[in-house]
Structure 1
Amino acid sequence: MLQNKLVESPIEILNGWKKAVLVRYGELSLKSESTRRFMENVLIRNIKWMLNRKKVPYDSIFRERGRIFLSSDSPRMVAQVLSSVFGVVSTSPVLVTSSEMDEIIRLSERVADVLIKPNDSFAIRARRVGTHSFTSIDVEKKVGEVILARTRNLNTKVNLTQPDKCIFIEVREKKTYIYHEVFPGPGGLPYNSEGKMVALFSGGIDSPVAMWLMMKRGCKVVPIYFDNTPYTDESNYNRTMSVIKILREYATQDKFYIYIVPHGKILEKAITQAPRRLTCLLCKRAFYRVATIIAEKENAKGIITGESLGQVASQTLDNLMVLNEATHLPVFRPLIGLDKLEIEGTAKKIGTYEASCIKTASCSAVPDKPRTKAKLEEVKKAEKELMDTIQEESNLAKRIYIE
Structure 2
Amino acid sequence: MPVASDVVVLRYHEIALKGRNRPFFVRRLAEHVERLCADLPVGPVSRASARLLLPLHDPAAWPTARARLGRVFGLANYTLAHEVRLAADPGESLARVGDTVLAHLAGQSVRSFRVATKRSDKRFPLTSPEVNRVLGARIQAATAAPVDLEAAALTVGLDILPGRAFVSLEKVRIDSPVAAWRMMRRGCRVDFVHFHSVPFLDRTSQEKARELARLLAEWELEAELFFVPFGEVQRQIVVAVPRPLRVVLYRRMMIRIAEVLARQHGAEALVTGESLGQVASQTLGNLAVIGAATVMPILQP
If the length of structure 2 is used for normalisation, what is the TM-score?
0.50
State the structure with bigger RCO (CA 8 A, min sep 6), 1 or 2.
1
Structure having the higher Rg: 1
